[in-house]
Chain A
């Protein structure tokens, strides 16, 4: 591939354009002669990119993979010894895979536990939100709590109306007692309580 540049003089001999042919022109020599040559830009660009990706990309990668496969070797399957918990990268066979599991990738068990934690926190959050909604609903309905939005105004008639509405919603009955019993007489004499 490095010999491609040796082929350029051949282009001159093979391709001899005459006066009628229109080509991209570039000055080539110091003779009193105008040599018409094809552009070199595409060639140089291609070789530049090829060398770049090959030397910086493929060669180091190949060396690393060669070393890992030939000199380090893959792991051998064995039973987990007693009282030993293997680290999370010791569950993989290929050395490069082990490296990725050790330094690059999130562990398998960690992912599982994170999902469980996320579920737990979301459940707790939902329960708290439901509780807040319930509290606000009851405060609005009953209007009896001194919340931050509540102006304390005692309204006996309003409370009476609430009570009567509850009784009415339960239904009318002939067995109901009158609204209020009269108060016990205090004059002239209070009744005897025996």
Chain B
């Protein structure tokens, strides 16, 4: 899936879409554009800025003193903010894959959407490794302990493949083989 298509309408492909677009054009788009150009842009005041919030550096759990409740609260808020951002990231990548599949079609997406699929798979795996399987509710201390236990386990089991790319590729190949094995005429496939 390359760049998304432009918002202009191409007249001549389909007379029904042309008719529908002409209706919407005259009833809604032209009045709105006229209003915006002639009234809004003339009478609107000066533009003014808004900013994105910046959160300063804060001690994490491992740097906090013992029984320092304020430090715990700050690190917990940072942890929750990071979690929300990472959740949005995974959501956006999922959305990209969905759009790619909708654009290409279910079968062609196996070949053409590989990059989006891999990005989603990786981000989802990382999210699960960082935030998942700790139960609801959980605290930043639980996340820290999970990280520690994972590092210990990885040190004790260096041969284990935790990412799972081999399994994923294997599953993809099996899907393609199954689709190839279905007897269909060549014009449709």
Binding site for B on A (CB under 8 A): 70-73, 75-80, 86, 90-93, 98, 108, 112, 115-116, 119-120, 122-123
Q: What 1/0 mask marks residues of chain B from 59 to 72 whose CB sits below 8 Å from any chain A CB?
A: 00000000101100
Docked complex Cα distance between A71 and B45 (Å): 7
B44 contacts partner chain A, Cβ-Cβ < 8 Å: yes
Contact partner of A70 (CB less than 8 A), chosen from B44, B70, B73, is B44
Contact partner of B51 (CB less than 8 A), chosen from A70, A71, A91, A108, is A91
10 examples of A-B residue contacts, CB within 8 angstroms: A70-B39, A76-B48, A77-B50, A80-B51, A80-B54, A91-B51, A108-B53, A112-B77, A116-B70, A122-B69
Question: Are B50 and A92 in contact, CB atoms less than 8 angstroms apart?
Answer: yes
Binding site for A on B (CB under 8 A): 39-40, 43-45, 47-54, 67, 69-70, 73-74, 77
Query: A115 contacts which chain B residues (CB < 8 A)?
Result: 73
A96 to chain B, nearest CB (A): 13
Question: Are A86 and B47 in contact, CB atoms less than 8 angstroms apart?
Answer: no
Docked complex Cα distance between A77 and B44 (Å): 18
Closest partner residue, chain A, to B40 (CB atom): A70
4 nearest CB pairs, A to B: A75-B50, A78-B49, A119-B69, A80-B51
Question: Are B69 and A75 in contact, CB atoms less than 8 angstroms apart?
Answer: no
Question: Are A77 and B70 in contact, CB atoms less than 8 angstroms apart?
Answer: no
Question: Are B69 and A76 in contact, CB atoms less than 8 angstroms apart?
Answer: no
Question: Are A73 and B50 in contact, CB atoms less than 8 angstroms apart?
Answer: no
Question: Are A73 and B49 in contact, CB atoms less than 8 angstroms apart?
Answer: no
Closest partner residue, chain A, to B77 (CB atom): A112
Docked complex Cα distance between A37 and B73 (Å): 71
Docked complex Cα distance between A108 and B128 (Å): 29
Q: Can you name 9 extra interface pairs (CB under 8 A) apart from A77-B51, A91-B53, A122-B69?
A: A71-B40, A72-B45, A76-B47, A90-B51, A91-B51, A92-B50, A108-B53, A115-B73, A119-B73
Docked complex Cα distance between A76 and B47 (Å): 7
Question: Are A116 and B50 in contact, CB atoms less than 8 angstroms apart?
Answer: no
Query: B54 contacts which chain A residues (CB < 8 A)?
Result: 80
Docked complex Cα distance between A76 and B54 (Å): 17
Query: B70 contacts which chain A residues (CB < 8 A)?
Result: 116, 119-120, 123
